[in-house]
Amino acid sequence: MVHLQQTEKGVPVSAVAIETLSKEGLEDTNEYKATEAMRALSDEVEMIVPELENEAVIDAFKTDADEFLFDKQSAEECAAQIRTDIIAVTKGGN
């Protein structure tokens, strides 16, 4: 499965999955390098920030980021909108 997915959904934590990626030469991807950097600091950082697993936060970020990606907002406007929307969804209890 990891061979089929490659790194589309990020690098899995499974040692077998990482070994498979290495055999396929995918250790040069940014996702793999980021995972390895996080592993090196695992005693200092959490792997998953619970707030970033909130579906409403993810949706707000993606929706607002699209405005920038499709030249509908400047980077500054986009950042401000992301901040506003994430605060709204997290204070709204979603």
- pLDDT tens, residue by residue, 52-94: 778 888 899 999 999 999 999 999 999 999 999 999 988 865 4
67 with 87, same domain? yes
User: Cα dist. 80→39, 53, 90 in Å?
Assistant: 31, 21, 16
> What confidence category does residue 35 fall into, taking pLDDT thresholds of 50, 70 and 90?
confident
The burial of 67, by beta-carbon neighbours within 10 Å (0-12 exposed, 13-18 middle, 19 or more buried), is given as: middle
Structural domain contains residue 45: no
What domain range is 68 assigned to?
Answer: 50-91
Say if 34 falls within a structural domain.
yes
Domain count, the chain: 2
**pLDDT, greater one: 6 or 88:** 88
Q: Does pTM top 0.85 for this prediction? A: no
Asked if the structure places residue 68 within a domain, the reply is: yes
Whether residues 12 and 33 share a domain: the answer is yes
Residue 35 lies in a domain: yes
User: Bigger pLDDT: 38 or 64?
Assistant: 64
